[in-house]
Chain A
Amino acid sequence: MTLGAASVALVLLTSTSFGADEISTFSAYVDSDICARLMLGPITAQRIQCSQSTFKEGSEPVLVRLHNNMVLSVNKEKIIRPLVGQLAEVSGKVKPEDGTVKLESAKPITDASIPQGDSARRLLDVRTYRTERSAQLHEKIRHELAMMPYISNFDFISFTQNGADVILTGWTVRETNRDTAGRVVRDIDGVETVVNNIEVLPLGSFDMQIRAAARAALQRNLSRYFWGNGSDIKIVVKRGQIILLGTVSRKADSDLAFIQCNSVSGAFKVFNMLRVQASDKGA
């Protein structure tokens, strides 16, 4: 009897200590890193196409937690590689503060398996996902993020707003930019929750050389997009991959930027995500 009580106590203790490590099970969309950080909102056919094509081109697979849009990098990519573009039920230890999950398992699911009324359904249907935002609050968030100090050509910080919920996204070379963005947005009147999906990029010398060379090449050939101490073109470099972001006025400039970055020594993949101003999209 005493032994039994001790066993129960041990089991309780063990489960408590495991509880502190928090293995959780949740529904997620398996996305590519690039699309997860740029195409926020419902899982549409366009998004699935983006996920699968950029993944094929080398963008790493990540998880997007369905109930809050949080992007999570995983430790075992091979588990989710076959599931890119699909929904999955995932188990693992989530670290929201650094946007990672230590993956235990992932299995494909259909949207029908997510119960009606579950918050995870929000992202599943464009008809049920409604972006509600006031122009004034949206502008305030945009202004605060644009005015942040120490934003370089190599940082891209963006957001989406759904009512009082804000999802921050992008990449930065300074950890402080991630924290500052979260803080300034959280401090804005009217904002209730902030999901911070901004990824801090490593400062390895290999990537630093690519950053410097890519900027030099673009500045030489597309100087009009570089002004004073900033630029309209953002150059995100992550483990040898270049992601071009921002807006250019002509399709020809977007193509030229892509060609220039492809010639940068050491860069093994260029993702051209530059937007072309509406008036020249067809040119």
Chain B
Amino acid sequence: MLAKDFFKRARCFGFGLVLVLSSCSRPVPKANVTELGGGSEFSGFLTTYVNLKPNPNFENTMSYVSNDPAKNIHRYVAVIVDTPTVYISTTAKGKAIPDRGVWALKEYFQNAISGAIEDAFPVVQSSGPLVLRLRSAIVGIDVGQLPANQKDANTLDQAIDIGRVAVEMELVDSETGEQIAAAVDRQNLGEGAVVGSTTFSREEKFRAATQAFDGWAARLRQFLDSADELSKEDVERVESTNFPYASEDTPSK
């Protein structure tokens, strides 16, 4: 367990280092943000929204988990984690959202959700049978204010406000694209948080941003755990049939 924590931390550190080095050494590619359509309840990112219902176990969250015996979460053993898509808020239209910052958001969140789920669903790179694809979107980023004292090589020209961000996620079959589970998480974890640096520096508001992304990732894991829970009937069946091969003889008292 300690070793796992070490590797997680090392990976986060490595990820930060890569960001710093990459920001110094080459031009930043276009980050592809998508503008939100006005007046719509959802971004349009998910394959479908028709199955979503308020989830009583998660505040401000709508979700869907397929109960189809042939296509449900229990039938898969691994997952591909796609790079998240970012949608800008309607109020941010026409304003400059820095590509470096959007990449930092995408990579941090992808890393956070991979870390949160990988011990339940090993992360793989190729689609195939028994493999899910996790698609996610950070919806509603806006431009924000940089703190006055924040200035170094990693500082963005313009801060990104994640104060009203929602997260939309779905698990689809990696071969057919069919939706197996989905969630729209509007829990306002990013309240007061801005990203002003590619390294999510230690400044309080930036730390709030990393906590928000970690929080959404943790809620995703809780959602998966609740979807994986066995029904009462399944528990009874497991209890009555799961005997070890080496227990044929009667145990002594």
List, in ascending order, chain A residues with CB within 8 A of B129's CB: 208-209, 211-213
Interface of A is mostly: mixed
Whether A149 pairs with B228 at a CB distance below 8 angstroms is yes
Q: Does A262 contact B (CB under 8 A)?
A: no
Asked if B242 is at the interface of the complex by the 8 Å CB criterion, the answer is yes
Report if A143-B239 is in contact (Cβ < 8 Å); known contacts: A41-B246, A158-B246, A229-B72.
yes
> Among the listed stretches A78-86, A99-107, A108-116, A126-134, which one makes contact with chain B, having 4 or more residues with CB under 8 Å of it?
A126-134
Judged by a CB distance under 8 angstroms, whether B148 is at the interface is no
Give Cα distance in the complex from A247 to B237, angstroms: 13
Give the residues in chain A near B229, CB-CB below 8 Å. Answer: 149
Whether the Cβ atoms of A146 and B242 lie closer than 8 Å is yes
Which residue of chain B lies nearest to A141 when distances are taken between CB atoms in the complex?
Answer: B244
Structural contact, A147 and B235, CB atoms closer than 8 A: yes
Shortest beta-carbon distance, B113 to chain A, in Å?
A: 16
Q: Which of B197-249 contact A (CB under 8 A)?
A: 225, 228-231, 233-235, 237-239, 241-247, 249
CB of B247 within 8 A of CB of A160, answer yes
Contact partners of A150 in chain B: CB under 8 A: 120, 228
- Asked if A174 is at the interface (CB within 8 A of a chain B CB), the reply is yes
Does A152 make an interface contact (CB < 8 A)?
yes
Q: Is the CB of A203 within 8 A of B77?
A: yes
Interface string of B103-139 (1 = CB under 8 A from A): 0000000000000000111101010111100000000
A92 to chain B, nearest CB (A): 23
Q: For B231, give its contact among A131, A152, A154, A229 (CB under 8 Å).
A: A229
Are A138 and B237 neighbours in the complex by a CB distance under 8 Å?
no
B-side binding surface: helix, strand, loop or mixed? loop
In contact, B234 and A228 (Cβ under 8 angstroms): yes
B53 within 8 A of A: no
Residues of B within 8 A of A38 (CB): 245-246
Q: Which residue of B lies closest to A97 (CB)?
A: B3
A77 contacts chain B at the CB level, 8 A cutoff: no
A174 touching B238 by the CB < 8 A rule?
no
What's the nearest-Cβ distance from chain A to residue B227, in Å? 10
User: A203 to chain B: which residues have CB within 8 Å?
Assistant: 77-78, 122, 124
Shortest beta-carbon distance from B240 to chain A in Å: 10
**Cross-chain contact A173 with B77 (CB below 8 angstroms):** yes
Quick check: is A227 within 8 A (CB to CB) of the other chain?
yes
Q: Is A5 on the interface with B (CB-CB < 8 A)? A: no
Q: Which positions in B face A, CB cutoff 8 Å?
A: 1, 69, 72, 74-75, 77-78, 119-122, 124, 126, 128-131, 225, 228-231, 233-235, 237-239, 241-247, 249, 251-253
CB<8 Å pairs between A and B, sample of 25: A38-B245, A40-B246, A132-B252, A135-B251, A135-B252, A138-B251, A142-B244, A146-B239, A149-B225, A150-B120, A158-B245, A158-B246, A160-B246, A173-B77, A176-B119, A208-B78, A208-B128, A211-B129, A228-B230, A228-B237, A229-B72, A229-B234, A230-B230, A247-B241, A275-B245
